[in-house]
Amino acid sequence: MKIFSEELVRRAVDDLHVADLSQATIGEVLLVAQYLEQETGIPFIRMDQGSPGLPVNRFGVEAEKAALDRGVGSQYPAAAGVPELKHEASRFVKAFLDVEVSARSCVPTVGSVSGSFSSFIACTQRIPGKDKVLFIDPGFPIQKSQLRVQGVEWKEFDIYSYRGEALRSKLEEMLSDGDVAAIVYSNPNNPAWICLEEDELKIIGEMADKYDVIVMEDLAYFCMDYRSDLGHPFSPPYPPTVARYTDNYILMLSASKIFSYAGQRIALLCISDRLFEKQYPALAQRYKDSGVFGETLIASILYMITSGCTASTQYAYAEMLRLSTEGVINFVEDTREYSRRAEKMKKIFTDNGFHVVYDSDVSQKVGDGFFFTIGYGQMEGGELLRELLYYGVSSISLALTGSGQNGVRACTSRMSEELYPVLEERMKAFREDHPVNR
């Protein structure tokens, strides 16, 4: 039996001016869920927005308070970042990735959204004729929205059928025209939680060198592949990264998920030293500056967007990175709760006729973490999104993420103990109302 009537959901969609519920954005789904909750008082199982669901890191809070007490709020921070953060970022990348990036090449941004927006500009303007972006999907929908704002075209493909060595021929196909400036993916992946493995990243690195493409590796969920014992400073195993296989890379490292510091909007672009120092005549001509990639990105692009990052937040991030590198903070254990939630939620869904869509990597079953993907029989993602809303469960269609598979993305961050029996009851009702043989 449905929790919310079709009439009520239709009224919510009309009142909120949602053009097509089956293709609703994260923000639109969020508004519909809030509307239905407010109208009825019935709580939703919120799987739509990927906002942290754990307490903020207290070391960051204390460091930020201390910075404000020192008076840092009275002065503009340097566009390139405060020295303390740049230094600690370089140490952190070495400690947890075993990759050398100088402090100069570590640049703070107002969240990774700001980092990707500015990087897209620099990447697509550096060489005339190389002005498209390639998405290895599924991925973060906002990044394509950023390109719409910029008027930049993109290419995309769903990696579902191109894991392992099959990735090489697909990348050759997508890059052979020579018009791609950058490749973007997240690892672990939003929304599928698949993880590109070392052999696949080696292929991406080789293709980046062959076609002079910059790889933008989004590490929003850094070290959150809980299948491996990651997160020990200066000790293997280290997370896989394309930075071992090419110098054409930008790593995006956010504080939002690993430190639950999302509200303060702080991240880093960790640019390979070789790329940072490379000079591009097209950039020099456009911006009337040196045309050196890193300097142009900071002073002529990023500063025009945000005028630097909040000074106190930079000191907070620096302290959290420092304490992680010194082994005081174990951010992997701090976030492992997401894995426990995913395991419980997946079981409830699969016990009631659902299946995990992206269910494996090349060499092992996909792990449990911040996101997972579910399908129901042959139901299309938009239809499944809408049907789940009737049962008080909000999600987003996989089609919104560039996926070619039927299903929805589920986020674990808003789940709590008292909601598991509620979810189980609702999914039993869903199965009774939607008999399926798979």
pLDDT in tens, the chain (438 residues): 899 999 999 999 999 999 888 888 888 999 999 999 999 999 999 999 889 999 999 999 999 999 999 999 999 999 999 999 999 999 999 999 999 999 999 999 999 999 999 999 999 999 999 999 999 999 999 999 999 999 999 999 999 999 999 999 999 999 999 999 999 999 999 999 999 999 999 999 999 999 999 999 999 999 999 999 999 999 999 999 999 999 999 999 999 999 999 999 999 999 999 999 999 999 999 999 999 999 999 999 999 999 999 999 999 999 999 999 999 999 999 999 999 999 999 999 999 999 999 999 999 999 999 999 999 999 999 999 999 999 999 999 999 999 999 999 999 999 999 999 999 999 999 999 999 764
Amino acid occupying residue 81? G
Ramachandran angles phi, psi of 8, nearest 5° = -65, -45
Structure tokens that stand for 62 in this block: 């204390």
| CA-to-CA separations, 329 to 96, 104, 231, in angstroms, rounded | 13, 25, 10
SS3 of 345-373: the string is HHHHHHHCCCEECCCECCCCECCCCCEEE
Can you tell me the distance from the alpha carbon of 192 to that of 409, in angstroms, rounded to the nearest whole number? Answer: 7
Place of tokens 């999104």: 385
Place of tokens 């030293």: 273
CB atoms within 10 A of CB 416: 10
Q: Give buried/exposed letters for 3-16 (b at 16+ CB in 10 A, else e).
A: bbeeebbeebbeee
DSSP 243: G
Structure tokens that stand for 217 in this block: 């590796």
User: Domains in the chain, ordered, with CATH?
Assistant: 6-42+336-433 (3.90.1150.100), 58-325 (3.40.640.10)
| CA-to-CA separations, 192 to 158, 197, 255, 341, 360, in angstroms, rounded | 11, 14, 21, 15, 10
Can you tell me the distance from the alpha carbon of 115 to that of 387, in angstroms, rounded to the nearest whole number? Answer: 36
The residue among 71, 88, 198, 204 whose CA lies nearest residue 135 is 204
DSSP 42: P
